[in-house]
Amino acid sequence: MAKRYAEVNKNRCVACGECMYVCLKGAIKIIHGRYALSNSDKCIGCGLCEKSCPAGCITMMHREQVSE
């Protein structure tokens, strides 16, 4: 599993779809034409979506380290 994942601030999202187009794993979808939603299980943490977002509403988050 990737160490990072994308998190979308849906209140700032303009639903342009840029993040969805650059996502290598199809981890981002536009919901009801209103905002993007990231699937953290599919996200590989590459950061392309964050870089492509014109609204600046995507942040790469660090996953919590789980000790076994």
- Summarised one tens digit per residue, pLDDT across range 26-51 is 999 999 999 999 999 999 999 999 99
Q: 22 — phi, psi (to 5°)?
A: -90, -10
Instruction: Count Cβ atoms below 10 Å from residue 33 Cβ, excluding itself.
Output: 7
- Residues spanned by the domain of 11: 4-62
SS (H, E, C) 2-55: CCEEEEECCCCCCCCCHHHHHCCCCCEEEECCCEEEECCCCCCCCCHHHHHCCC
| pTM exceeds 0.85 for this model | yes
Q: What is the pLDDT of residue 38?
A: 97
Inside any domain, residue 68: no
Inside any domain, residue 67: no
- Summarised one tens digit per residue, pLDDT across range 48-68 is 999 999 999 999 999 885 444
Structural domain tally of the chain? 1
Residue 28 structure tokens: 């981002």
Inside any domain, residue 10: yes
Inside any domain, residue 49: yes
* Cβ 5 vs Cβ 45: under 8 Å: yes
- Provide the CATH number for the domain around residue 46: 3.30.70.20
